[in-house]
Amino acid sequence: MDRTDISLIALRRILRATELFGKQLAQAAGLTAVQFRVLQLVAEKGTCTAKEISVRMRVSQATVTSLVDKLVHQGMVERQRSQTDRRQTNIVLTPKGQATIEDAPDALQQRYVRKFEALEDWEQAMLVASLERVAAMLDAGELDAAPVLDMGDFRKPS
């Protein structure tokens, strides 16, 4: 097998791992990886705004609004008016949202982060350079992307 085939197989394995994690998360928690990440961000701060989430995830506020709408519908988060600034709406985790975080499978990106951070500095730099090169080779270097490993919503439309 030549290096081209080996590299394509490795790329496919990464895509497949992301896909399988998405299915596992959808089955266990009823959420996409991106929805789960919103829950994690809200849990980290206790309360936050849609703008804060959009900045952290590097997505538009409209995208965050849509994600939060789905989480509100599922009872995972609530919107509450700020007591200090009535124009501001805070997003807070519900007990159901907290339980979902605690019961969810280990997030793929968290496994990656733990292992990546354990690498030597030179290994991290080499890996980042290689991944950036792969993204450029796929003409994906300029695509807007949040730091969340996700293949989309695998649940059947309701």
Is residue 148 assigned to a domain? no
- For 85, the 3-state DSSP assignment is coil
Domain count, the chain: 1
What average pLDDT is seen over the chain?
Answer: 85
Range of the domain at 41: 3-137
Residue 132 burial (CB count, 10 A): 11
Is residue 143 assigned to a domain? no
The pLDDT, as a whole number, for residue 3 is: 92
Is residue 145 assigned to a domain? no
Is residue 156 assigned to a domain? no
CA–CA gap between residue 46 and residue 36 (Å, rounded): 15
Q: What is the CATH number of the domain that holds 28?
A: 1.10.10.10
More confidently predicted of 151 and 30: 30
Q: What kind and span of H or E run contains 81?
A: strand 77-81
pLDDT tens per residue across span 85-143: 888 999 999 999 999 988 887 777 778 889 999 999 999 999 999 999 998 898 887 76
Is pLDDT of 154 > 50?
no
CA–CA gap between residue 48 and residue 52 (Å, rounded): 6
Region of 49 on the Ramachandran plot (φ > 0 left; ψ -120 to 50 alpha; else beta): beta
Is residue 103 assigned to a domain? yes
The pLDDT, as a whole number, for residue 12 is: 92
Q: What kind and span of H or E run contains 55?
A: helix 50-57
Residue type at 62 in one-letter notation: A
pLDDT tens per residue across span 26-79: 777 888 888 988 998 999 988 999 999 999 988 889 999 999 999 999 999 999
> Which residues lie across from 90 on neighbouring strands?
80
